[in-house]
Structure 1
Amino acid sequence: MNICTAIKSLVKYAIDNDMIKKEDEIWAINSVCQALEMDAFDECESENAELQDILASILDYATKKGLCEDSVVYKDLFDTKIMGILTPKPSEVISKFNALYNESKEAATDYYYKLCCDSDYIRRYRIKNDLKWITKTEYGDIDITVNLSKPEKDPKAIAAALKMKATSYPKCLLCKENEGYAGRINHPARQNHRIIPMVLGGDDFFMQYSPYVYYNEHCIVFNAEHTPMKIDRSAFVKLLDFVEKFPHYFVGSNADLPIVGGSILTHEHFQGGNYEFAMAKAPIETKVAFDGFDDVEAGIVKWPMSVIRIAGTDKARLVELADRILTAWRGYTDEESFIFAETDGVPHNTITPIARMRNGKFELDLVLRNNITTEECPLGYYHPHPEYHHIKKENIGLIEVMGLAVLPSRLKNEMALLGEAMVNGEDIGANEAIASHKEWADMIADKYEINADNIDDILKKEIGIVFTSILAQCGVYSRDDEGKAGFLKFIKSVR
């Protein structure tokens, strides 16, 4: 479509999706024209095209006119600038969210999530390219995703980023100053980004949605201040405050130590959403009791990692017990179970906490974590072991802990090549692109009768089995009698 039709269609899209009003049409057309350095507009009819196609026409015009480099990074900066023109102001978004919240909490989040998608902050046409499937295990249905929605930087953008002067604004990708920020080559544009304020545990926080949605309504809840991640009593208070405000959402925090923590430890934040993970569905395997907390239900969860679940109607009581468990775990050493609170002054023990509401009760899952390293496992003993690095080498953070594998994009191509090679009987070790999978592929070949019709399903199933094994490796207590005895020994130590 020509540029005028594209602009008209984009403005109609914004009106149809309640981003702007019909009365804003001429202003919106002129504002987009200004961004495109057009001093005239030819009246035309709009087309009912997909947003991706409309933006593609606008980007094609911008690159031909020299307004934008023909590169995915530069195009993302430019089309975000265009969408920012049509995205409601923060005050309007907050006002509408609060008005809806007073009527229905779900209606408020539904509105906000739809806006984040309609404004192209969440690029739905990229998210749909992610590979997703479910693997059935003894612990329930484990979710697997190969993330393809985050665009790769091209060499031109990488070279430009290296020449840029260092800047500390915004301090990180989570800071509130990202709202409306124009972006740069090494920092995404956020003109169409809107955040919702709230108070958690007496501190100012904001909620946003993740632009790379790993599950339904994947949100991020972050401190208004750029302050480091810390798991302590106040973190439990904040998590429970959030699920009280949004009982249809869960919320959890990455741990606060390297290896077992998330990718951003410099800014306190939690992740939540409207989704029930396999871990949340997992039952209590062994009921336990803590002295002085007869009013709190507690137990060990049937899960490959080491999880204590506590539940009750009184937030303060859950916070008190969670704090006691955390304090005990921070200083806990059990050499027989290969658990050390610290070595050479470096602390190792922390917790990954997850909160939810269930049947009118507050519920906290406390996942015991330890980041000790060994000569055989220099990246972490309670971390994916080297034999599984061909599938996943990265940290096991909150999302993976709950039962969703976020796997690297390289696997899409590698699994395609591996499947073809296995069906054709090729020498996998001779192909550099898939040689790391040889031992695993040999095991699979011995296990199944492989053909072109079943190889994809077999590889998906086996990837899920690998991920479940990785979760078990990350559990500080093994899933056997010896591990159970060690787990109960720790629980008895909590005072």
Structure 2
Amino acid sequence: MIYQHIKGLLQQALDVELIAIADQTYVRNQVLALLHLKSYPETMEHHTEESIPNLLEKIIAYAVENSVIENVFDDKEILSASIMDCFIPRPSTINEIFQAKYAISPGEATNYFYELSKNSNYIQMNRINKNIQFKASTIYGEMDITINMSKPEKDPEQIKRERELKHDITYPKCLLCIENEGYVGRTGYPARANHRLIQIPLLDEIWYMQYSPYVYYNEHSILLAEKHRDMKIGKETFERLLAFIEKFPHYFIGSNADLPIVGGSILSHDHYQAGKYEFPMTNPETAFTFTLEKFSNIHASVLNWPLSTIRLQSDNKELLVEVADYILTAWKNYSDEHAQIQAFSGDTPHNTITPIARMRENKFELDLVLRNNRTNEEHPLGIFHPHADVHHIKKENIGLIEVMGLAVLPARLEEELAEIQNFLLDQPCTVPPYHEEWANQLKAKYGKQSDLEQVDSILKKELGDKFAKVLGDAGVFKEQSEYERFIQTLN
């Protein structure tokens, strides 16, 4: 069967134009070498017609069964990526094709690269399809809910290997460095042999675009700096974001905040996230508009959104950058004891911004989400961070994706919500202690249930409300008067 799987993989690669007919023999021989196979049958009755990810899984299973590799997570990942690397052009060729397609249209260029990243199994669709996704109605409109099931669990031998590691390798410096392109991987570090980057000039630097291996939304891409340097939100951030959407007007782009607690998971490498997706935050209602006296020709508004967000719109890119920088500078130094906002503790800053840029009706649009990472005794994980009453659902940082209304919730919730379902149906269950209060509240609110679909609908609705509360906790302004005091400072 292994030869049928290899032939099937070659045929699928031909069908999706990863390779040309003239490449078949070369690629086949490269794959044979990786599997320690010395020959290939001249004739074959048939080949398996499955997807590339499914065929890869069967080939890796063969490699384990025949002692080509050990049955260890990283060994399987390394071989899988190395096999697919045989099917992908070198970075220079991919960049040339991208630029040729960009000359036709930006959308054609990104579509080419996105399909390549999926077909090469760099974006692992089999795993991503395991995610539980639905929309939930809340007071702020529909929210996107994702229970993240795509991150594979490490096997015991993998965990043992990582614990026994003695050496300290610092190459690549982090998961976002350009040195990851084509990196085979090692124990405790992901395989990236089939990883490719697109060069994107921004201002006076070359940045690099890739797609996330675990896409949370359509064309979930990452734009990363060539140099390994810390995240920093400043005037150049706004310039780069607007320059990017000018090049790729069919995408949005945004940045995590640059401070702990309110920032993303990787603050050590300057990067942004982009994509072709309409988030719940894209079209919320406007709470109110206001005038900036120094920039009266900029359209400014406050969104009806749980996180405190100022939206700016203009057809003048340079003016929009100037206004955004003006607001950022003011916010970094802004304190309001009535709203528990303190700009500094000694020399330690607390205020920053999560910015998001998009094109709308040929105008540039910037959302400035005000963030503060201060802690106190009541909220040791953050005053403007998910509070203790929602930690049973979401305890992690609220990064860019969540800010825009897409919840990325932990995998544990799949089994835990099933237990709560049983509880509401008066069936045998084991509700985790940290969910008990919530489960009792639900039973008191909805009473005894007998229909599984109805219970499922209830839990989705209530999960959406919990996520809205999570985002509301992260909002620095809770009342319009608090916004108005800040706007008064701006003016």
Which amino acid in structure 2 is aligned with residue 26 of structure 1? T
Q: After superposition, what is the alpha-carbon deviation per residue over 1:140-176, rounded to whole angstroms, capped at 9, x for unaligned?
A: 2100000111112122112112223111111111011
Residue equivalent to 1:47: 48
SS at match of 1:82: helix
| Mapped partners of 1:464, 1:487: distance in 2 | 26
Shift of 1:9: 1.2
Q: After superposition, what is the alpha-carbon deviation per residue over 1:307-344, rounded to whole angstroms, capped at 9, x for unaligned?
A: 00001011110110000100001011111111100123
Shift of 1:425: 5.7
Which amino acid in structure 1 is aligned with residue 2 of structure 2? I
| Mapped partners of 2:162, 2:232: distance in 1 | 31
Residue equivalent to 2:11: 12
| Mapped partners of 1:347, 1:112: distance in 2 | 39
| Mapped partners of 2:354, 2:187: distance in 1 | 33
Shift of 1:61: 1.8
Which amino acid in structure 2 is aligned with residue 271 of structure 1? Q
Which amino acid in structure 2 is aligned with residue 122 of structure 1? I
* C-alpha contact 2:233 2:258 (8 A) present in aligned 1: yes
Which amino acid in structure 2 is aligned with residue 441 of structure 1? A
| Mapped partners of 2:276, 2:337: distance in 1 | 40
* C-alpha contact 2:131 2:146 (8 A) present in aligned 1: yes
Residue equivalent to 2:30: 31
| Mapped partners of 1:53, 1:288: distance in 2 | 55
Shift of 1:57: 2.4
Shift of 1:56: 2.4
Residue equivalent to 2:300: 298
| Mapped partners of 1:149, 1:425: distance in 2 | 29
Shift of 1:53: 2.8
2:444 to 427, 446, 468: 446
* C-alpha contact 1:130 1:148 (8 A) present in aligned 2: yes
Residue equivalent to 1:395: 397
Shift of 1:284: 2.3
Residue equivalent to 1:490: 486
SS at match of 2:122: coil
Residue equivalent to 1:331: 333
1:174 equivalent to 2:176? Answer yes
Q: How does 1:56-135 map to 2 (within 5 A)?
A: 56-135=57-136
| Mapped partners of 1:475, 1:328: distance in 2 | 18
Q: After superposition, what is the alpha-carbon deviation per residue over 1:374-417, rounded to whole angstroms, capped at 9, x for unaligned?
A: 11111101000001100010000100000000000110111112
Q: How many residues align?
A: 486
| Mapped partners of 1:148, 1:262: distance in 2 | 20
Shift of 1:458: 1.0
| Mapped partners of 2:187, 2:443: distance in 1 | 45
Shift of 1:422: 2.7
SS at match of 2:86: helix
* C-alpha contact 1:310 1:318 (8 A) present in aligned 2: yes
Residue equivalent to 1:318: 320
Q: After superposition, what is the alpha-carbon deviation per residue over 1:224-250, rounded to whole angstroms, capped at 9, x for unaligned?
A: 110100000000001111111110000
* C-alpha contact 2:172 2:180 (8 A) present in aligned 1: yes
- Please say which of residues 52-61 and 469-478 is displaced more in the overlay: 52-61
SS at match of 2:224: strand
Residue equivalent to 2:238: 236
Which amino acid in structure 1 is aligned with residue 136 of structure 2? T
Which amino acid in structure 1 is aligned with residue 248 of structure 2? F
SS at match of 1:308: strand
SS at match of 2:353: strand
Identity of aligned residues (%): 46
Residue equivalent to 1:476: 476
2:373 to 351, 371, 374: 371
Which amino acid in structure 1 is aligned with residue 485 of structure 2? K
* C-alpha contact 2:74 2:186 (8 A) present in aligned 1: no
Shift of 1:446: 1.3
| Mapped partners of 2:312, 2:61: distance in 1 | 55
| Mapped partners of 2:451, 2:188: distance in 1 | 42
| Mapped partners of 1:401, 1:83: distance in 2 | 35
Q: Which runs of 5+ in 1 are unaligned?
A: none
Which amino acid in structure 2 is aligned with residue 458 of structure 1? I
Shift of 1:126: 1.0
| Mapped partners of 2:372, 2:354: distance in 1 | 10
Shift of 1:292: 2.2
Residue equivalent to 2:457: 457
* C-alpha contact 1:73 1:154 (8 A) present in aligned 2: no
| Mapped partners of 2:314, 2:404: distance in 1 | 21
* C-alpha contact 1:284 1:309 (8 A) present in aligned 2: no
Which amino acid in structure 2 is aligned with residue 484 of structure 1? Q
| Mapped partners of 2:137, 2:389: distance in 1 | 22
Shift of 1:201: 2.5
SS at match of 2:295: coil
Distance 1:353 1:418, change over 3 A: same
Shift of 1:135: 0.8
| Mapped partners of 2:421, 2:28: distance in 1 | 50
* C-alpha contact 2:261 2:382 (8 A) present in aligned 1: yes
| Mapped partners of 2:104, 2:187: distance in 1 | 41
1:354 equivalent to 2:353? Answer no
| Mapped partners of 1:39, 1:327: distance in 2 | 65
| Mapped partners of 2:105, 2:285: distance in 1 | 30
Q: After superposition, what is the alpha-carbon deviation per residue over 1:117-145, rounded to whole angstroms, capped at 9, x for unaligned?
A: 00000111111110001011232210000
* C-alpha contact 2:423 2:439 (8 A) present in aligned 1: no
2:384 to 363, 382, 385: 382
* C-alpha contact 1:250 1:356 (8 A) present in aligned 2: yes
Q: Which runs of 5+ in 2 are unaligned?
A: none
User: TM-score w.r.t. structure 1 length?
Assistant: 0.96
SS at match of 2:287: strand
* C-alpha contact 1:354 1:365 (8 A) present in aligned 2: yes
Shift of 1:275: 0.4
Shift of 1:421: 2.6
Shift of 1:50: 2.0
Q: After superposition, what is the alpha-carbon deviation per residue over 1:268-305, rounded to whole angstroms, capped at 9, x for unaligned?
A: 00001000111111132211111221221001011011
| Mapped partners of 2:82, 2:427: distance in 1 | 51
Shift of 1:190: 0.8
